[in-house]
Amino acid sequence: MKEIKIEAILFDLDGVLINSFESWYQAFTNMLRAYGRKELSREVFKANCWGPDLRHNLGALHLDEDAAEYCVREQLRLIALIKLCPDAEEVVRRSREKYKFKVGLVTNTPRENVTKILEHFQLANHFDVILTGDEVKRGKPDPELVVKACERLDVKPEQVILVGDTKADYQAGKAAGCFVIGTGSKSAGDVHIEQLNELFSIVDKI
């Protein structure tokens, strides 16, 4: 593995630090019902909508900003369905305390939802920068979120690890110039881990 000096780690939120799939699926389904559209199965939703930002997904269905806001409100209402992934808090804390990395969060989820989720799981103070989908023109797979996070952390993308669970994360990270670690059974990355707590076995080899 090519040696690079790592200065920062960027984490995706959904599917990496939290399991929010059911909350987003139900929110999306409620939105489709409200707007008279055909519902999607969980399998189709995961294959086609899980990863790209919400407005990209709604654009493909010819739905507008009102539908996006409806879906976001529904997801907030369903926050009790969200689960913290095993070892998430420990991994983020260890990244800062032991490895002395700058730590960022880059997510397509809107700021209001991210704030509520991080408060709910007491994670807000673990990040040096948090960038959300409504703070950029284009969410992942576009690299804008990742590039802006690197700028705010004052690090070069080639000194950054991005940890994500979707193809959109991989595309955004590689386009920005980061080293990408994919986590989960169907993730893409320069290297792959099944569980988040395997992260440091990779970090120690870089």
pLDDT tens per residue, range 60-79: 899 999 999 999 999 999 99
Q: Write the CATH number for 114.
A: 3.40.50.1000
Tell me 81's DSSP state: G
Instruction: For residue 121, tell me if it sits in a domain.
Output: yes
Instruction: For residue 2, tell me if it sits in a domain.
Output: no
Let me know whether 180 and 112 are in one domain.
Answer: yes
Percent of the chain exceeding pLDDT 90 equals: 90
Cα(99)–Cα(122) distance, integer angstroms: 21
Residue 26 host element (H or E): helix 21-34
Rounded average pLDDT over 112-126: 95
Rounded average pLDDT over 45-61: 90
Let me know whether 33 and 105 are in one domain.
Answer: no
The pLDDT, as a whole number, for residue 185 is 72
**Half-sphere exposure of 14 toward its Cβ, with a 13 Å CA cutoff?**
29
pLDDT band per the 50, 70, 90 thresholds, residue 3 = low
Let me know whether 146 and 183 are in one domain.
Answer: yes
User: What is the C-alpha radius of gyration for the chain, rounded to an integer number of angstroms?
Assistant: 16
Q: How many domains does the chain have?
A: 2
Cα(78)–Cα(18) distance, integer angstroms: 14
Average model confidence (pLDDT) across the chain: 94
The tokens 């409100």 sit on which residue?
73
Q: Which of 48-52, 79-83, 102-106 has the lowest mean pLDDT?
A: 48-52
Q: Which residue, of 62, 81, 100, is where some domain finishes?
A: 81
pLDDT band per the 50, 70, 90 thresholds, residue 1 = very low
Domain, as residue range, for 159 = 8-19+83-203
Let me know whether 116 and 193 are in one domain.
Answer: yes
Let me know whether 97 and 151 are in one domain.
Answer: yes
Let me know whether 46 and 102 are in one domain.
Answer: no
Let me know whether 28 and 92 are in one domain.
Answer: no
Let me know whether 34 and 136 are in one domain.
Answer: no
Let me know whether 94 and 185 are in one domain.
Answer: yes
Rounded average pLDDT over 46-60: 89
